[in-house]
Amino acid sequence: MTITETPQLPNGVNVEALLGAREAFKGDTSLTKFTWRARNEWVNGTHSRTTIDDFSGVGGEQSHNSPQVHDADHPALFAAEDNDSTPVEFVLHALAACLTGGVAAVAANRGVKLNSVNSVIEGDMDLQGILGMDREGRNGYSSVRVVFEIDADASDEEIEAIVAQSRNRSAVYDILTGNVPVEITVAAK
């Protein structure tokens, strides 16, 4: 018999805590209103740097364990310095991470042990838009594809259902497939 300090969490997900939070929030749904926040600073050319630290939710200001810094740039092909991934690639990262975290949580809730979850995410984009060549075409992705490879102690049907449920709950999937109103202003000097 092995005695461990922390309980074994299925897929590393604390299902009990999540279900407990859901119950607690039912009494006061103002607690579920979150505002996520990022601060960006231009570095040079198309290179910029974002710091992510604080956010608000559960009725007050919160912060991450530590601030995280993320750069972005354009590739050398666009006569840029390629200091980091492009903004549109970060959108793919966000989608993959959201769906994959969801797969782990849904699988844990269903008692399914995951051995591995890999995905390849692709997005098609015609650069005529951002280059100003074709003002009729769209600037962003015309389509995005996600292909999962999942090894789990479950049938193909159970795995398909877990992925479908993750998609149904995914914030980033909803952001991409629905219209998000975006307001851009310039602060007075």
**Residues from 82 through 101 that contact its own copies (CB under 8 A):** 82, 84-101
Q: Which is nearer to its own copies, 93 or 111 (CB)?
A: 93
Please give the C-alpha separations between residue 17 and each of 6, 20, 29, 105, 109, in angstroms, as whole numbers. Answer: 14, 5, 17, 12, 11
Binding status of residue 54 toward its own copies by CB under 8 A: no
Residue 167 lies near its own copies (rule: CB under 8 A): yes
List the one residue from 61, 111, 113, 118 that touches its own copies (CB under 8 A).
118
The residue behind tokens 């219209």 is 179
Site size with its own copies, rule: CB under 8 A: 130
The token duo for 65 is 């364990």
Residue with smaller CB distance to its own copies, 2 or 185: 185
Residue 4 contacts its own copies per CB under 8 A = no
Exposure letters 26-46 (e unless 16+ CB within 10 A, then b): eeeeeeeeeeeeeeeeeeeeb
72 in contact with its own copies (CB under 8 A): yes
Cβ of residue 1: shortest distance to its own copies, in angstroms?
A: 24
Q: Site residues for its own copies, window 21-50 (CB under 8 A)?
A: 21-22, 25-26, 29, 32-42, 44-48, 50
Binding of its own copies by 59 (CB under 8 A): no
Indicate the residue among 5 and 132 with the shorter CB distance to its own copies: 132
**The one among 5, 6, 7, 76 contacting its own copies by CB under 8 A:** 76
1 versus 180: smaller Cβ distance to its own copies: 180
Among 75, 111, 112, 153, indicate the residue that binds its own copies (CB under 8 A): 75
158 forms part of the interface with its own copies (CB under 8 A): no
Contact present, 46 and 138 (Cβ < 8 Å): no
CB atoms within 10 A of CB 50: 14
- Decide: is 110 part of the binding site for its own copies (CB under 8 A): no
CA distance 84 to 96: 18
Contacts of 106 (CB under 8 A, 6+ apart): 162, 165, 166, 169
Rounded alpha-carbon distances, angstroms, from residue 178 to 102, 173, 181: 19, 8, 10
